[in-house]
Amino acid sequence: MPIFHLLAGPNGAGKSSLYRALLAENVIDEKLEFVNADIYERDHLKRIKNPLNRSEAARNWAEDRRSALLQSNISFVSETVFSHPSKIELIERAKQAGYQIVLYIVAVDNPETLAQRVNNRVREGGHGVPTEKILSRYPRTLANLTKALPLADVAFLYDSQDVQQSGLQHVATCRQGVLIEGMDDFPAWVKLVLAT
């Protein structure tokens, strides 16, 4: 059975850091294709000068690439902010195609923290996202993740609030939306996603 590894969370939450950690721990096979619009934009779309057009082209590429992989029945990894309902449809399509869905969720309680991280990333040469977009996406992302949990065969939730000091903290594991492992006191965002 092919596996769809999906890393999801708000801008600046630490999806790329989580991906690197999962590779280092051999949780995800490094040979699996990683569909990442940000990396594709950086590596292949510099010729498009308008940043909005460049981002849209990267998103379209990622959607097309995921669809092609789903049709090919090949295991792969992808990353998304998960702020749009189409990502729930993506999981549903993958399930219908016979994929096992492994969802890795990373977030923080305070969306202002996310905006600060993205601003720091820009200062270090990384890609930016307008603060108002980060803040408006945050509640939509959490709401969509709540809907996605029952669709995932397994979901691992990570908190990245203190990522500089303690790294990503695994806070919960769910199977088909049912909590099977978790810490005693969840961060507020986890309570929202788990609808507890």
- Let me know if 34 is exposed, middle or buried by CB neighbors in 10 A (0-12, 13-18, 19+): middle
Q: What is the pLDDT of residues 47-94, one digit of tens each?
A: 888 877 878 898 899 999 999 999 999 999 999 989 999 999 999 999
Q: Which domains does the chain have, with CATH numbers?
A: 3-194 (3.40.50.300)
Residue, of 163 and 40, whose pLDDT is higher: 40
Phi, psi of 79 (to 5 degrees): -130, 140
Q: Where on the phi/psi map is residue 51: left (φ > 0), alpha (ψ -120 to 50), or beta?
A: alpha
Buried b (16+ CB within 10 A) or exposed e, 124-139: eeebebebeebeebbe
Between 96 and 12, where is the model more confident?
96
